[in-house]
Amino acid sequence: MQLVHLTDLHFGCEDKTALAAAARYVSEHKPDAVIITGDISKDGLASELNNACDWMRDLGVPVMLTPGNHDVPYYEMWGRLAYPWKRFERAAEGIQTAPWHTDAWSIVPVNTARAWQVRMNWAQGEISRGQTAIAAAELQQAKPDALRIVITHHPLDWPNDAPIKGLTRGGQRALDKLVDAGAELFLAGHLHFASARLYRRKALSVVSGTLSQRVRHEPCAFTVIRRPLKDIIETEVVYIVQGLCETASIRQFRLNAPAEPGAPAEIHANV
């Protein structure tokens, strides 16, 4: 099984060279699916959202999509209040946005973006108790050998070395509940920064880079996810440099490894 995780395309300030390289990678490697975790537009304009979704439809493989904080009408207060997701939903028609179960995977999307919030920074994410309960129930639909994946725009846990600080409200609570419900892999974006870390030795939390001009300390990037064995998840971070895809790292993580010393959870790293 091979999945490609893209995020933060930010059409409106997209990096056309990076998008072309990513599309070429997909057409050459033919992954089973492409997962896109939001911020597909810059300002939530219909033209940006439509262009982003048209680009996804041209990838030639199944695409799964969940929205980000930039996918609401960004500078339009009335739009945020009255029809926050209408343009996104219209643009994404025909693209998979609902939970997706196959023999190989269960992908459960949760929308952590909010049109408005009772806090200063509306770009931050939130996952409610209700959303967590629905996602946990959805994970119970997974086939026995399916990789159980939860996808969100905002990371539920925040990597220590992330280039921007923030907090996903309810994230820690949700992470624990979803791991208890069987989640094995979390995919997120928002940080424009590649990261992978194990959580409680039971699940892998992955954040991928951006394909936009809004890079932060790293070139445009995406992540390829493989599952060479049932309990092993491999991440390949691909940087796009001068229009070419370059492997930045390949790491393998063992889920459910024993906690004794000498049994490392990360079993192979090649940078």
Cβ proximity to Fe ion, 87 vs 227, nearer residue: 87
- Cβ proximity to Fe ion: between 68 and 155 the closer is 68
To the nearest whole angstrom, how small is the minimum distance from the Cβ of residue 156 to Fe ion?
14
Q: Is 39 in the site for Fe ion (CB under 5 A)?
A: yes
Smallest distance from Fe ion to CB 225, Å: 20
Q: Can residue 69 be called a binding residue for Fe ion (CB under 5 A)?
A: yes
The residues, ordered by sequence, that sit 6+ positions from 209 with a Cβ below 8 Å of its Cβ are: 7, 8, 192, 193, 194, 215, 218, 219, 220, 221, 222, 223, 237, 239
Query: What distance in Å separates the CA atoms of residue 159 and residue 153, rounded to the nearest whole number?
Result: 14
Of the candidates 147, 203, 206, the one whose C-alpha atom is nearest the C-alpha of residue 7 is: 206
Please tell me whether residue 195 binds Fe ion under the rule CB under 5 A.
no
Q: At 177, list the tokens.
A: 């509940």
With b meaning 16 or more CB within 10 Å and e meaning fewer, what string describes 98-113? ebbbeeebbbbbbbbb
Q: How far is the CB of 167 from Fe ion (least distance, A)?
A: 14
Measured between alpha carbons, how far is 63 from 121 in angstroms, rounded to an integer? 30
Residue of 67, 68, 84, 155 that binds Fe ion (CB under 5 A): 68
Q: Does 190 bind Fe ion (CB under 5 A)?
A: yes
Q: Report, in Å, the least distance between residue 176 CB and Fe ion.
A: 23
Residue 7 binds to Fe ion (criterion: CB under 5 A): no
| CA–CA distance, 246 with 116 (Å, rounded to integer) | 38
Minimum separation from the CB atom of position 269 to Fe ion (A): 28
Instruction: Return the number of the residue (42 or 190) whose C-beta is nearest Fe ion.
Output: 190
Residue whose pair of structure tokens reads 């600080």 in the numeric block:
165
Applying CB under 5 A, the residues found at the interface with Fe ion are: 39, 68-69, 190
